[in-house]
Structure 1
Amino acid sequence: MKTEITAAAANKKTLDDLAVGLCALTVVGVSATAATPFWPTAWGQAPSIGVVVLAAGLAVFIALHSLYWWRSLDEAAREAHKWAWWWGGNLGFVAGGAAVVLAAVAGVDLLPARVPHTEAALIALGVVAAFAAQAVGYGLAWCAWWIARR
């Protein structure tokens, strides 16, 4: 029992340290305004170095936070998440993909009128639609898993 309490305290300290690091990266991100060097002109206007640092730091923070969060879960919660992601995420992806294809075949315009209808916008729409469908499927499957085991 004492080992679990010690591990939980160490885990919380690590997450607190990560949060402080993210706060420091936020300060750097908003204060560094110089353009990113070596940015290809074909990609458009270069973002500031601060934005790049902040985005990279946020990605590392999310990855590490997810790792520590996953380690803190018990076996039942891990199984619920794995099952929900496999079944809900996959079935949501299939259903969402089918809905987008059917909408495209039917000629439904899925982009708002103010958004330019470019290839990049359509690709972004596809990515967002796929993620949203997976997230909805995951949420439904996660709830179903816990309801079935009540």
Structure 2
Amino acid sequence: MSRLKADIRKTMSNLVVAPSRLSAFSLIGDTMSSPRTHITVNELNDEIVPRLDLVEKLINTTLASLIETTESDEERTRREDQKRRFELMLLSIRMNVASVSRRHAAVIRATQDDDRTGGSLLQLDENEAIALDNARLLYDQVKAHARQ
């Protein structure tokens, strides 16, 4: 399992996605100085998950289109590799979102049942904190490059 985590971290830190309308960007991976150790239920449900869904659709659609329309075998291979690395990074983020959701299911359920406010804090372990920071970073980068 630690080998898988190392591969995921390496992939996340080296991921470069360059869809035509998004320009080029790379993820910082786990090199951020201080990932947040808490997140609110509202941040998880109303920001992280929907934004992750949006980014996934946008990048997958863009990369699929680029793979399908490119005439260069070298470019197609490069885009397919980008797509695989992006999918691996998303898998890591989604696994960590699921981990947070499982560990804090009672608090999340109570929030959804209106028994608590959505401001309830959820404790994140190190991997969850890194993954959620990467999700935020990915969204911010896509948003910034989409404006260009």
Choose between structure 1 and 2: higher strand proportion: 2
Choose between structure 1 and 2: higher helix proportion: 1
Q: Answer whether TM exceeds 0.5 for this pair.
A: no
